[in-house]
Structure 1
Amino acid sequence: MTLKELFAPFGLEAPPQAVRGITLDSRRVAPGFVFVAVPGVPLPHRQPLDGHAFIPEALARGAIAVVGERPLSLPVPYLRVEDARLVLALLARRFYGEPDTALTLLGVTGSKGKSTTASLLHHLLQAGGVGAALLSTVGLRLGDEKRPPVGHFTTPEAPEVYAFLREAADRGLKAAVLEVSSHALALKRVEGLSYRVGLFVSFYPDDHLDLHGTAENYFRAKALLVERSEVAVLHTALPHLEELKNRPHLLVGPGGEVRAEGVREEERGLRFRLQSPWGEGEAFLPLLGAYNADNALMAAGAALLLGLPLEGVLGGLATFPGVPGRMEVVRAHPFRVVIDFAHTGKSLEEALKTLRRTTRGRLLLVVGAAGERDQRRREDIGRVAARLADLTFFTEEDHRTEPLEEILRALAEAARREGGRFRLVPDRREAILQAVLEAREGDTVLLAGKGHESTLERGLEALPWNEREVAEEALRARGL
């Protein structure tokens, strides 16, 4: 596509130069790129970066056009707009040839359970013969091909989203499952997309308030997915449910049209009877945690809406391989080591309560709290750890530019008020080693907060990290 073609709908006269890419990150600019200068997001803990300050760098790297919100005179074509984030998405969609129109899109949002539900739905589609892509926190899938996630976001920026959809369409896949965060909806990373089915899994009002400000704004951001979907799959526990039901929908969960009866937690997973308008049957899901029954119901409901047979859906649930970093069992004997992404008080509470039910001995916990995030998380995590774990090793978890000692101090103070037992071990690798060396037969060691993530952020550095490999290294040091 040429610059002239790209900018034609926006009324900007531009030469017919070939466009090689679009980005809001000046570091990614290469000759032939269009640079979109996006104002930064104001957050309580830091001053926002402003993309306009990086225009000189983008030009030096070979940008052939710039989009921004300020009156500027530049040596290349410049498109001034009111909303650079919106235009970034619209330009990306146009540049990649509107790939969403060639795919059945399924969007998944929620405070917790997004990644598992999206991965389950992708698995059900693949098992049912519907070639599907997956864009998720835990990684990308193009059919059966696996790729690492794009960056540190649940949903990447619009150019990466549309590039991924373009590749999925070019490969002949028929559907794409997108894990859609509230950040992505509020920051317009998925503008232009409409969904055949939109799944709203759960809502916890105390999350991501650093960006959204209020629980109401947070909910409204997530509700945008429902508004952009032909059919919504809604959990019956959602707040403001009546407002969400003003469009075609399927209710899932207690009292809903798709529900689980007689949920039984076993050592290998969950068993329950799935009830639905399409029939009923016995289901087995090889995941720990009764809450995963809800994730399975959400994915099953969407698959059934798309026309997959009930027998195939039940078979797909039974063969689900799990999600990296989500209740991932690294070792089962003589003590259990489990990795989970739980990084808020609520999710940590769910994880610890789940593991307690199947732990004969003590419950040991390694956990931290992220820097440059809502500081109330530290209080919540510290209190939950003190109440539900027998011994906690407070450690680092992406402290970024915040002093790690301040985060550890906040965790310790919250735990101390609850009377919990804990140790402060700043280095995460050392904390995991100490927990594994401490464990005895019948204990469970939960490594919480990092899950699938491939980096550990210290200061301005993003260091390579693999929680499973670190856990296995500690087990070898133990002689296991």
Structure 2
Amino acid sequence: MTLEELFAPYGLKAPPLPVRGITLDSRRVEPGFVFVAVPGVPLPHRKPLDGHDFILEALRKGAIAVVGERALALPVPYLQVADSRLALAHLARRFHGEPDRRLVLLGVTGSKGKSTTASLLHHLLQGAGVETALLSTVALRLGEEARPPMGHFTTPEAPEVYGFLREAADQGLEAAVLEVSSHALALKRVEGLAYRVGVFVSFYPDDHLDLHGTAEAYFGAKALLVERSELAVLNAALPHLERLKGRPHLLFGPGGEVWGEGLREEAEGLRFTLHTPWGSGEAFLPMLGTYNLDNALAASAAALAFGLPLEGVLQGLATFRGVPGRMEVVQKEPFRVVIDFAHTGKSLEAALQTLRRTTKGRLLLVVGAAGERDPRRREDIGQVAARLADKAFFTEEDHRTEDLGAILQAMAEAAAREGGTYELVPDRKEAILRALSEAREGDTVLLAGKGHERTLERGTLALPWDERAVALEALRALGFRGQGPGPGQRGL
């Protein structure tokens, strides 16, 4: 596409120069790119960056045009807009040839359970012969081909979203499952997308208030997915449900059209009777945690609404290999080692309660709290750790530019108020080794907070990180072998 064609809908005359890419990150600019200057998001804990301050850097790197919100005179074509983020999404969609028109889109949002539900829905569709892409926190997939996730974002920026969908469409895939965060909806990363099915899994009103400000604004951001979907699959326990039921919908959970009966949690997973408008059947999901029933119901409802037969859904549930970093068992004997992404008080509480039910000995915990995030999170984690773990090792988890010692001290003070047993071990690798070295037969060690993530943020650096590899290395150093490859992973 040429610059002239890209800017035509805006009425800006531009030369027919070939456009090689679009970005809002000046570090990614290459010759032939269009740079979109986006004002930063104001958050309580840090001063936002402003893309307008990086225009000269983008020009030095070869940007052939700039988009921004200020009145500027530049030596390249400049498109002034009222909303740079909105323009970024529309330009990215146009640049990539509106790939969403060639795919059936299924979106998944929620405070908790998005990644598992999206991954399970992708698995169900693939198992039924529907070639499907997956864009989620934990994985990118083009059919069965796996790609590494795009950094820390649940949903990447619009150029990456549309670029991924373009690749899926060009490969002839039929559908795409997108994990859609409230950040992505509020910050217009998925503008222009419409969904055949939109799934709203869960809602916790005290999440992400540093961005949204109020629970009402947070809910409103997630509700945008429902508004853009032909059919909404909704948790019957959601607040403000009447507000969401104004369009075609399917409810799951108690009181809904899709629900589970007779839930039994076994060592290898969950068994229940799945009831749906398409019939009923006995289901098995090889995942730990009774809370995964909601994720199974959500994915099943979406798959059935898409057109999959009930028998195919039941077979797909039983063959699901799990999600990397979500209750992922690294070692079973003589003590169990589990990796989970739990990084808030509520999610950590659910993880510890789940593991307690099947732990014969002590429950040991390695956990941190992220810097440049709501400070209440570290207190919640400290309190939950003290109440539900026999011993906690408080350590780093992306402290970024905040003082790690202060974060650990806040967690320790919260744990001390609950009478908890804990150690402060700033280095995460050392903390994991310390916890594993204390474990005895029948114990469970939970490594919480990092899950699938592939970086550890210290200061301004994003260092390579693989929680599973670190755990396996520590186990080998202690004379254990671990369980080998995890879900969707190769052996180490």
Name the TM-score, length of structure 1 as normaliser: 1.00
Q: Could you tell me how far apart the structure 2 residues matched to 1:362 and 1:244 are? A: 44
**Are 1:115 and 2:115 counterparts?**
yes
Q: Could you tell me how far apart the structure 2 residues matched to 1:254 and 1:350 are? A: 19
Q: Secondary structure at the match of 2:334?
A: coil
Structure-2 residue corresponding to 1:83: 83
Q: How far apart are 1:255 and its partner, in Å?
A: 1.2
After TM superposition, the structure 1 = structure 2 runs for residues 137-152 of structure 1, keeping only pairs within 5 Å, are 137-152=137-152
Q: Could you tell me how far apart the structure 2 residues matched to 1:97 and 1:303 are? A: 28
Structure-1 residue corresponding to 2:126: 126
**Are 1:237 and 2:237 counterparts?**
yes
Structure-1 residue corresponding to 2:489: none
Q: How far apart are 1:35 and its partner, in Å?
A: 0.2
Q: How far apart are 1:474 and its partner, in Å?
A: 1.1
After TM superposition, the structure 1 = structure 2 runs for residues 424-443 of structure 1, keeping only pairs within 5 Å, are 424-443=424-443
Q: How far apart are 1:123 and its partner, in Å?
A: 0.1
After TM superposition, the structure 1 = structure 2 runs for residues 51-90 of structure 1, keeping only pairs within 5 Å, are 51-90=51-90
Q: Secondary structure at the match of 1:462?
A: strand
After TM superposition, the structure 1 = structure 2 runs for residues 341-360 of structure 1, keeping only pairs within 5 Å, are 341-360=341-360
Q: Secondary structure at the match of 2:56?
A: helix
Give the letter for the 2:364 counterpart: L
Q: Secondary structure at the match of 1:359?
A: coil
Give the letter for the 1:131 counterpart: E
Structure-2 residue corresponding to 1:383: 383
Q: How far apart are 1:376 and its partner, in Å?
A: 0.7
Q: Secondary structure at the match of 1:22?
A: strand
After TM superposition, the structure 1 = structure 2 runs for residues 204-223 of structure 1, keeping only pairs within 5 Å, are 204-223=204-223
After TM superposition, the structure 1 = structure 2 runs for residues 173-322 of structure 1, keeping only pairs within 5 Å, are 173-322=173-322
Q: Could you give the per-residue CA deviations for residues 333-382 of structure 1, whole angstroms, max 9, x where no partner exists? A: 00000000000000000000000000000000000000000111011101
Q: Could you give the per-residue CA deviations for residues 252-287 of structure 1, whole angstroms, max 9, x where no partner exists? A: 001110000001000000000000000000000000
**Are 1:169 and 2:169 counterparts?**
yes
Q: Could you give the per-residue CA deviations for residues 397-426 of structure 1, whole angstroms, max 9, x where no partner exists? A: 000000000100100000000000000000
Q: How far apart are 1:196 and its partner, in Å?
A: 0.4
**Are 1:422 and 2:422 counterparts?**
yes
Q: Could you give the per-residue CA deviations for residues 17-66 of structure 1, whole angstroms, max 9, x where no partner exists? A: 00000000001000100000000000011100000000000000000000
Q: Could you tell me how far apart the structure 1 residues matched to 2:73 and 2:321 are? A: 55
Q: Could you give the per-residue CA deviations for residues 297-327 of structure 1, whole angstroms, max 9, x where no partner exists? A: 1000000001100000000000001100000
Alpha-carbon RMSD across the aligned residues, in angstroms, is 0.4
Q: Could you tell me how far apart the structure 2 residues matched to 1:388 and 1:119 are? A: 29
Structure-2 residue corresponding to 1:469: 469
Q: How far apart are 1:212 and its partner, in Å?
A: 0.4
Q: How far apart are 1:104 and its partner, in Å?
A: 0.4
Number of positions where the alignment pairs a residue of Structure 1 with one of Structure 2: 480
Q: How far apart are 1:436 and its partner, in Å?
A: 0.3
Give the letter for the 2:173 counterpart: L
Q: Could you tell me how far apart the structure 1 residues matched to 2:288 and 2:410 are? A: 30
Q: Secondary structure at the match of 2:230?
A: strand
Q: Could you tell me how far apart the structure 2 residues matched to 1:306 and 1:112 are? A: 23
Q: Could you tell me how far apart the structure 2 residues matched to 1:235 and 1:445 are? A: 32
Q: How far apart are 1:15 and its partner, in Å?
A: 0.5
Q: Could you tell me how far apart the structure 2 residues matched to 1:378 and 1:460 are? A: 20
Q: Could you tell me how far apart the structure 1 residues matched to 2:237 and 2:340 are? A: 24
Q: Could you tell me how far apart the structure 2 residues matched to 1:164 and 1:462 are? A: 23
Q: Secondary structure at the match of 2:346?
A: helix
Q: Could you give the per-residue CA deviations for residues 90-137 of structure 1, whole angstroms, max 9, x where no partner exists? A: 000000000000000000000000000000000000000000000000
Q: Secondary structure at the match of 1:330?
A: strand
Q: Could you tell me how far apart the structure 2 residues matched to 1:216 and 1:362 are? A: 40
Structure-1 residue corresponding to 2:93: 93
Structure-1 residue corresponding to 2:327: 327
Q: Could you tell me how far apart the structure 1 residues matched to 2:406 and 2:247 are? A: 47
Q: How far apart are 1:139 and its partner, in Å?
A: 1.3
Give the letter for the 2:340 counterpart: D
Q: Could you tell me how far apart the structure 2 residues matched to 1:288 and 1:308 are? A: 25
Give the letter for the 1:19 counterpart: V
Q: Could you give the per-residue CA deviations for residues 198-251 of structure 1, whole angstroms, max 9, x where no partner exists? A: 000000011101100111110000000000000000001111011111110000
Q: How far apart are 1:70 and its partner, in Å?
A: 0.2
Structure-1 residue corresponding to 2:339: 339
Give the letter for the 1:210 counterpart: D
Q: Secondary structure at the match of 2:407?
A: helix
Q: Secondary structure at the match of 1:197?
A: strand
Give the letter for the 1:411 counterpart: M
Q: How far apart are 1:152 and its partner, in Å?
A: 1.2
Q: Secondary structure at the match of 1:237?
A: coil
Structure-2 residue corresponding to 1:405: 405
Give the letter for the 1:476 counterpart: R
Give the letter for the 1:333 counterpart: E
Q: How far apart are 1:457 and its partner, in Å?
A: 0.2
Q: How far apart are 1:441 and its partner, in Å?
A: 0.4
Q: Secondary structure at the match of 2:233?
A: strand
Q: Could you tell me how far apart the structure 2 residues matched to 1:381 and 1:475 are? A: 26
Q: Secondary structure at the match of 2:301?
A: helix
Q: Could you tell me how far apart the structure 2 residues matched to 1:334 and 1:261 are? A: 34
Q: Could you tell me how far apart the structure 1 residues matched to 2:263 and 2:435 are? A: 32
Q: Secondary structure at the match of 1:273?
A: strand
Fraction of identical pairs, as percent: 81
Q: Could you tell me how far apart the structure 1 residues matched to 2:144 and 2:152 are? A: 22
Q: Could you tell me how far apart the structure 1 residues matched to 2:359 and 2:151 are? A: 35
Q: Secondary structure at the match of 1:97?
A: coil
Q: Secondary structure at the match of 2:97?
A: coil
Structure-2 residue corresponding to 1:14: 14
Q: Secondary structure at the match of 2:44?
A: coil
Structure-1 residue corresponding to 2:483: none
Structure-1 residue corresponding to 2:484: none
Q: Secondary structure at the match of 2:463?
A: strand
Give the letter for the 2:317 counterpart: L
Q: How far apart are 1:151 and its partner, in Å?
A: 1.6
Structure-1 residue corresponding to 2:40: 40
